[in-house]
Amino acid sequence: MYLDGENRRSLTPQLAFRIALIGGIALVAFGVIFFRLWYLQVLSGDQYEAKANDNRVREIKVQAPRGEVVDRDGRVLVDNRTGLAVKVTPGKLPDDRAQRMGLYRRLGRLVGASAGRIDRSVSDQLKALPYSAATVKQDVKPDVVAYLLERQKEFPGVTVERVFLRQYPHHQIGAHLFGTVGEITKEQLKDQRYRGVGLGDRVGQSGIEYQYDRFLRGKNGASRVQVDALGNLKGELAVRPPVQGRQLRLGMDLGVQKVGQEALGGARGAFAVMNVRSGGVVALGSTPSFDPNLFSKVIRARDFKRLSSEELGKPLFNRAIQGGYPTGSTFKLITSVAGLQGGIITPETVQYDGGSIQVGGVTFKNAGGAAHGAVALRQALTVSSDVFYYLIGRDANGTGDGLLIQRWAHKLGIGRPTGIDLPAETPGFLPTPKWRNKLFKKKLTDRPWSVGDNINLSVGQGDLAADPLQMAVAYSTVANGGKVLRPRLGLRIEDAGGRALQQLESPSPRRVKIKPEYRQAILEGLRGAASAPGGTSEPVFKGFPIPVAGKTGTAEKGAGRADQSWYVALAPFPNPKYVVAVTFEAGGFGADTAAPAARKILAEVFNVKGDAKKQVGSGKAY
């Protein structure tokens, strides 16, 4: 049928505009799609093809063994052992959850874990590393391994792999020095020092393991494997073997370390042995100790809680660098320096010791009620006259700003970290008028600072808190002529064959000015204490072939607690090379407990064997 011209409708302008607009939009959309496809397929085709190929290749991490730690003579302190780890391979696990949980229940009965715990652990590990085998248990017995290998059909996806585990062959000896390792935490991953470390890697968590982790930690290897579009493993492409970490040589002597811990006898205490000229730490120990092998596989919260309990003596607590104790009369070396350098006394100043003095209505007595008569500095140190030092403390409190003793104690390293290459060192505490007056204003104590506080400080009593390493540094400073050393354990970094790669240099020491004649007078007084008739430790060192200068210390702690026992020794006199500082938390008199322990340590340092009267050489070369 044809329409005549009368009945045919004409195209209106509005309709023509709409058709043109729709056509324009369609054309633009087609152009955008065309050019986008052209960009993706032509310009970026190679890039996306490479990414697609990369999606078919995965890297499975192979953890590296850590470097060994040896003592100065090359004796192994920390090494690795191979263990057998039970793992599950994700591509071979049953897809059905019920079957998978049944597998976990059977596996759990062998390794001592619940099915739910295994399921959660495996899931968490596979989220972090989807193509790696997930560890169920790190160290299993050979009979468990044999059982699994004989029944592979009952345990689909379960494999056994060799892993490297940290080993501490000397168990409790040196445990606080060596520390522990454990899997890196999420917080640590944000730390710059762990750059390149991934989830699941094991890093140093305390002690030397932490301090020198970047050297001890090796370089992980990897296995490159191919997977299909569904993520199923198709085969291994290449293997990059792991590289073991560097060997760390310490300046410590394993023999001295053993004897030191034996001398403490398991009692709560600590010791430090150091070269007074270089700051090299020969031994550093704390008891009770712990076996770091306990943490070589998994660091468990319950183990930390148990080994941190007061009832067990807090074995994880390193008393050598964290214990804050009143030092008793060993502090008199510091008071001597302050009194001499501050002009309160000279080496020849004579004070009368009648057994006690009265200050502000309070009577301060000598230990045991002894009266020593007229004494000068040397004799005051030899017999440990408290009255002589009470008078210095009284006069120092009224001199200048009253902080003479505190300033010199701080210069000599009290109330501040020594800077040893170990983490978690604490500064101790040095009481001052400002500190106590602030507490008094806040009503946290019953009185402000008084002259009695300074008198107590002069003999190492009161609120003072120091550790053996700090006292070793203070005595070393006097012995070496004014060098405030930073103690060092690390000696050098080596390859696996023991060849030196990097020396670990000690930081430059601070220096304080002590007049030579003052230093000499103090050392002579300490020598008399260990050798002259009436000397506080003369009975202990009688017949000892090495000339020793030393000071006993007995600090009252109040509240019915036993006295803190101290001894600090310098040897050989008159040019000391080593300092030994020993303390017992409940040892009583320093001459009864700490001094005999110091003698045992010195005997090992100087190779005194058998008969104590036997003459020996100048000791080991530290």
Q: Are residues 329 and 405 in the same domain?
A: yes
Q: Are residues 210 and 349 in the same domain?
A: no
For residue 47, the model assigns a pLDDT of 61
For residue 616, the model assigns a pLDDT of 42
Q: What is the CATH number of the domain that holds 194?
A: 3.90.1310.10
| pLDDT exceeds cutoff 60 at 324 | yes
Q: Are residues 352 and 375 in the same domain?
A: yes
Tell me the pLDDT of the chain averaged across its residues.
88
For residue 341, the model assigns a pLDDT of 98
| pLDDT exceeds cutoff 80 at 231 | no
For residue 221, the model assigns a pLDDT of 79
Tell whether 26 is covered by a domain: no
Among residues 404, 284, 283, 243, which one has the least CA distance to residue 337?
404
Q: Are residues 435 and 467 in the same domain?
A: yes
Tell whether 22 is covered by a domain: no
**Cβ-contact 557, 591 below 8 angstroms:** no
CB hemisphere CA count around 171 (13 angstroms): 2
The band of 613, judged by pLDDT with boundaries at 50, 70 and 90, is very low
For residue 614, the model assigns a pLDDT of 41
For residue 395, the model assigns a pLDDT of 97
For residue 358, the model assigns a pLDDT of 96
The band of 158, judged by pLDDT with boundaries at 50, 70 and 90, is confident
| pLDDT exceeds cutoff 60 at 493 | yes
For residue 407, the model assigns a pLDDT of 98
Amino acid at 385: S
**Cβ-contact 432, 462 below 8 angstroms:** no
Tell whether 402 is covered by a domain: yes
Strand-pair category, 247-250 with 69-70: parallel
For residue 332, the model assigns a pLDDT of 98
The band of 467, judged by pLDDT with boundaries at 50, 70 and 90, is very high
Q: Are residues 331 and 296 in the same domain?
A: yes
Q: Are residues 446 and 471 in the same domain?
A: yes
- Say how many C-beta atoms besides its own lie within 10 A of residue 42's C-beta: 9
For residue 42, the model assigns a pLDDT of 63
Question: In sequence order, what are the residues at sequence separation of 6 or more whose Cβ sits closer than 8 angstroms to the Cβ of residue 551?
Answer: 329, 330, 332, 333, 381, 384, 526, 529, 536, 537, 567, 568
Tell whether 616 is covered by a domain: no
Final residue belonging to a domain, choices 248, 275, 295? 248
**Taking residues 95-112, what's their average pLDDT?**
88
Q: Are residues 270 and 124 in the same domain?
A: no
Q: Helices 386-397 and 451-458 sit at what angle, rounded to 10 degrees?
A: 140
8-12, 96-100, 111-115, 277-281: which is most confident? 277-281
Tell whether 24 is covered by a domain: no
For residue 617, the model assigns a pLDDT of 43
Tens digits of residue pLDDT in 286-297:
999 999 998 887
**Taking residues 194-222, what's their average pLDDT?**
88
Amino acid at 389: Y
184-198, 215-229, 552-566: which is most confident? 552-566
**Taking residues 45-53, what's their average pLDDT?**
55
- With 0-12 / 13-18 / 19 or more C-beta atoms within 10 angstroms meaning exposed / middle / buried, residue 274 is buried
**Cβ-contact 462, 456 below 8 angstroms:** yes
Q: Alpha-carbon distance 390 to 460, whole Å?
A: 11
Q: Are residues 112 and 216 in the same domain?
A: yes
Tell whether 1 is covered by a domain: no
Q: Alpha-carbon distance 555 to 391, whole Å?
A: 19
DSSP, collapsed to helix, strand or coil, labels residue 285 as: strand
- State residue 249 phi and psi, 5-degree precision: -100, 125
Tell whether 52 is covered by a domain: no
Q: Are residues 216 and 262 in the same domain?
A: no
Tens digits of residue pLDDT in 375-389:
999 999 999 999 999
Question: In sequence order, what are the residues at sequence separation of 6 or more whose Cβ sits closer than 8 angstroms to the Cβ of residue 118?
Answer: 104, 107, 108, 136
Tens digits of residue pLDDT in 407-433:
999 999 999 999 999 999 999 999 999
**Taking residues 11-31, what's their average pLDDT?**
76
The least confident of 291-305, 367-381, 435-449 is 291-305
**Taking residues 192-203, what's their average pLDDT?**
83
Query: Quick one: what percent of the chain has pLDDT higher than 70?
Result: 89
| pLDDT exceeds cutoff 60 at 438 | yes
**Cβ-contact 423, 207 below 8 angstroms:** yes
For residue 53, the model assigns a pLDDT of 55
Q: What is the CATH number of the domain that holds 344?
A: 3.40.710.10
For residue 34, the model assigns a pLDDT of 74
For residue 461, the model assigns a pLDDT of 96
- State residue 304 phi and psi, 5-degree precision: -60, -45
**Taking residues 273-298, what's their average pLDDT?**
93
| pLDDT exceeds cutoff 60 at 4 | no
The band of 202, judged by pLDDT with boundaries at 50, 70 and 90, is confident
Query: Quick one: what percent of the chain has pLDDT higher than 90?
Result: 60
Q: How many domains does the chain have?
A: 2
For residue 295, the model assigns a pLDDT of 85
Tell whether 260 is covered by a domain: yes
Q: Are residues 426 and 290 in the same domain?
A: yes
- Say how many C-beta atoms besides its own lie within 10 A of residue 271's C-beta: 31
Full residue range of the structural domain in which residue 489 is found: 254-306+315-497+509-605
Tens digits of residue pLDDT in 27-42:
877 777 877 776 666 6
Q: Alpha-carbon distance 342 to 339, whole Å?
A: 5
Q: Are residues 374 and 259 in the same domain?
A: yes
For residue 225, the model assigns a pLDDT of 58
For residue 64, the model assigns a pLDDT of 87
182 or 365, higher pLDDT: 365
The least confident of 255-269, 302-316, 513-527 is 302-316
- With 0-12 / 13-18 / 19 or more C-beta atoms within 10 angstroms meaning exposed / middle / buried, residue 4 is exposed
For residue 56, the model assigns a pLDDT of 58
Q: Are residues 279 and 354 in the same domain?
A: yes
Tens digits of residue pLDDT in 563-573:
999 999 999 99
| pLDDT exceeds cutoff 90 at 338 | yes
| pLDDT exceeds cutoff 60 at 6 | no
Tens digits of residue pLDDT in 132-147:
778 888 888 888 888 8
The band of 24, judged by pLDDT with boundaries at 50, 70 and 90, is confident
For residue 622, the model assigns a pLDDT of 55
For residue 413, the model assigns a pLDDT of 98
**Taking residues 364-371, what's their average pLDDT?**
92
